[in-house]
A and B are shown apart, each in its own frame.
Chain A
Amino acid sequence: MILTYIETREKRIKKSSLEALSEARRTAEALGTETAAAVLGTGMDGLAAELASCGVARIYLLENPSLDRYSTQDYAAVLAELIKKLGPQAVFFSATAMGKDLAPRLAARLGVGLAADCTQVSVRDGALEFTRPIFAGNALLSFRLTCSPQIVSLRPNVFPFGAAASAGETIREAVEIPAARTRAEVTEVLQEGGEEIDVCEADVIISGGRGMKGPENFALLREISELIPRSAVGASRSAVDSGWIGHQHQVGQTGKTVSPNLYLAFGISGAIQHLAGMSSSKVIVAVNKDPDAPIFKVADFGVVGDLFQVIPPLKEELKKLRG
């Protein structure tokens, strides 16, 4: 069995959890085994139907009102109990903020290794093989884990979502939460910038670098973002270090590693540490004054020109497309 942890936020399933579930199903088929999913918290009944449409055989709803708010320790404890009972070969997570916090804690609790932030999972001779980018994507590491169960987290936006019909048996369980020596508790979630999507989750990233010349010009990128659904504004390290935009927007080795469908780079020259963080994007477009900028070596489409001249007509063209 491959068990997938389903992450929810405000009682909705994270898209990247469905990606992980789809990959779990593909892997389970290759291993000749079945899939299961675990959802934590109360009032999650509505999600079971949605999970059934992803081809999952058994859906475990682990209920306790104190699981309605995320706690690393409680979640790890509850999942560890389920895993001891089910004995899955592997447990899949999405490598989101929660996945990166929870999966290693669970792995340590079980005393097993973790394949973190993988971009490929394959089955060879009946064993799982993982590939993950290291050095922010400057190299790829393929490896196996010699332990059981194997805990795996998958990079968001990399694995395709695939629907599949299944009966999807739902199993509801009231769970106990064990005591811990000292505790950490999430007391509040502070929303920033309203409905803004995080660069890690965006389908399209519109990024600015030193060529943006100042913080006020990032408004131009936000205007483009408003014309493109599921897009977010990103930035290079030099723009962030100049204080033009918050570091949560930074793409690159000391920022976020992203793989959107489209990466639009405005005034970004393409330092190694930036390229590392975005070169797994499906399509890259660069606008830069300097025809020798390294970013053009990785761009599928490049515009040599002044971004301040290019952006206004670009917005007009995008508006035309939207009708």
Chain B
Amino acid sequence: MDILVFVKRVPDTESKIRVQRETNSVIEEGLNFILSPYDEYALEEALRIRTAKGGKVVAVTVGREESLVILRKCLAMGADEAVLIKDPLPETYDGLRTARVIARFAQARFPEAKLLLFGKQSVGADNSQVPSMVAEFLGIGQANVVVKLDVEGETATALREIEGAQEKVSLALPAVVSAQKGLNEPRYETLKGIMMAKKKAIPVVPLEELGFKPDELTPCVTVIKMDQPPARKAGRVVTGEAPETARQLVEFLHNEAKII
């Protein structure tokens, strides 16, 4: 059973994000980039399914050459192959465009793939829209924000998180599944894996090879501005005996903030 895992290079979640207002973009200098954390859960799940059912795992990203690093990480974790779909544009924040590219790629190059796995969102763009859009373009079922996945023959059963509950979703394969934290515990790369990953060739597919019409990939998102959020001001801080600070706290909530 062949599994495609779609991954993205994102700034480390511990990084301080700074914005360049002139270009409406994030200042990349000094940022550490990683494989988006939710994508790690997706890849780990793919590797486990391969171990149980056979087949191969292909890690795919849409981006520029910088993204080769995270594909190497995927190979080091155990992916059989990796592909870079080379997109000349920087971040567009346009999920529809990315989804068109991915759906076309999957159809053209891996029509037999049974599972298309994603992180539930990329940390950064935080759009949570590409997996569902890909599923629609391919006309197949989807389960997002999944914390448990069982594959049996031509079907899969997923548990997906909703507010205060879980939905059990039965999927006919092929299907799209997006991973949530809790799905599994991703493995670390082994030294052997890292060495092997270095030797593997990573094919690069330029967008032009996917046969889009000229206007088809024009982003439908027009950025007006990017900004830092307004900084919060530090408020009052009290110290002293616990009963007195507790009393002051509740007084603040009741009389000043008027919340309780």
Compute how far the CA of A313 lies from the CA of B241 in the bound complex, rounded to whole angstroms.
10
Tell me, in angstroms, the Cα distance from A272 to B236 when the chains sit together. Answer: 21
Indicate if the CB atoms of A108 and B38 lie closer than 8 Å.
Answer: no
Contact yes or no, A285 B239, CB < 8 A: no
B144 CB-CB contact with A under 8 Å: yes
Q: For B144, what are the chain A residues with a Cβ–Cβ distance below 8 Å?
A: 100-101
Given contacts A183-B172, A253-B13, A317-B247, contact A140 B164 (CB under 8 A): no
Say yes or no for A186: interface residue by CB 8 A criterion: yes
Shortest Cβ distance from B252 into chain A, in angstroms? 5
- The stretch of B62-70, B78-86, B121-129, B191-199 that contacts the partner chain: B121-129
Contacts of B126 in A (CB 8 A): 116-117, 132-136, 257
**Cβ-defined contact, B129 with A104, below 8 A:** yes
With known contacts A135-B123, A192-B166, A301–B133 Cβ distance under 8 A: no
Task: Indicate if B254 sits at the interface (CB-CB under 8 A).
Answer: yes
Collect the chain B residues with CB atoms within 8 Å of residue A314's CB: 246, 249-250
Write out the residue numbers on chain B whose beta carbons fall within 8 Å of the beta carbon of A189: 162, 165-168
What are the 8 A-B residue pairs with the smallest beta carbon separation, nearest first? Answer: A184-B141, A104-B129, A309-B242, A108-B136, A113-B220, A300-B235, A108-B133, A198-B163
A residues whose Cβ falls under 8 Å from a Cβ of B: 70, 72-73, 76, 96-98, 100-105, 107-109, 111-114, 116-117, 129, 132-147, 180-193, 196-198, 200-201, 204, 228, 246-248, 250, 253-255, 257, 261-262, 271-273, 279-280, 282-285, 287, 291, 296-306, 309-310, 312-314, 316-318, 321
Q: Which of A97, A137, A190, A302 contacts B145 (CB 8 A)?
A: A97
Of B138, B232, B246, which is in contact with the most chain A CB atoms at under 10 Å from its CB? B246
**Cross-chain contact A301 with B252 (CB below 8 angstroms):** yes
Interface residue range, chain B: 35 or more
**Chain A minimum-CB-distance residue to B121:** A100
CB neighbours of B239 from chain A (8 A): 291, 303-305
Q: Which of B134, B166, B253 contacts A262 (CB 8 A)?
A: B253
Q: Hey, what's the 0/1 contact readout for B156-179 against A, CB within 8 Å counting as 1?
A: 000111111111111111110000
Is B257 an interface position by the 8 A CB rule?
A: yes
Chain A residues within 8 Å of B23, by CB: none
User: Using Cβ atoms and an 8 Å threshold, which residues of chain B touch A182?
Assistant: 139-141, 171-175
Q: Nearest Cβ distance between residue B116 and chain A, in whole angstroms?
A: 12
> Is there contact, CB below 8 Å, between A184 and B175?
yes
Contacts of B245 in A (CB 8 A): 303, 305, 310
Whether B181 lies near A254 (C-beta < 8 A) is yes
Measured CB to CB, the residues of B under 8 A from A are 11, 13-17, 19, 26, 37-38, 93-96, 99, 123-145, 159-175, 180-182, 220-229, 232, 234-240, 242-243, 245-250, 252-254, 257, 259-260
Q: Is the CB of B182 within 8 A of A114?
A: no
**A271 neighbours in B (Cβ, 8 Å):** 14
Chain A contacts for B247, CB-based, 8 A: 313, 317
Which of B14, B170, B172 lies in contact with A187, CB distance below 8 A? B170
Q: Contact between A296 and B234 (Cβ–Cβ < 8 Å)?
A: yes
Interchain CA distance A312-B247 in the complex, whole Å = 11
Inter-chain contacts of B161 with A (CB < 8 A): 97, 248
CB <8 Å contact, A321 and B254: yes
Tell whether, in the assembled complex, residue A142 and residue B223 are in contact, meaning their CB atoms are under 8 Å apart: yes
In the complex, chain A residues whose CB is within 8 Å of the CB of B222:
143-146
Q: Which residues of B contact A301 (CB under 8 A)?
A: 235-238, 249, 252-253, 257
Nearest opposing residue in chain B for A119, CB measure? B229
B242 and A112 within 8 A (CB) = no
Question: Beyond A146-B220, A301-B237: 10 further Cβ-contacts under 8 Å?
Answer: A112-B220, A114-B96, A117-B126, A139-B229, A186-B169, A189-B165, A190-B159, A273-B14, A285-B249, A303-B237
The reply to whether A104 and B234 form a contact with Cβ atoms under 8 Å apart is no
Find chain B residues with CB under 8 A from A284 CB: 232
- In the bound complex, what is the Cα–Cα distance between A306 and B243 (angstroms)? 11
6 A–B pairs (Cβ distance < 8 Å), ordered by A: A104-B95, A138-B16, A180-B141, A190-B167, A197-B163, A298-B234
A134 touches B163 (CB 8 A): no
Contacts of B142 in A (CB 8 A): 72, 101, 105, 184
Contact, CB under 8 Å: A302 / B238: yes
Chain A: minimal CB distance from B224 (Å): 4
Shortest CB–CB separation between residue B158 and chain A, in angstroms?
8
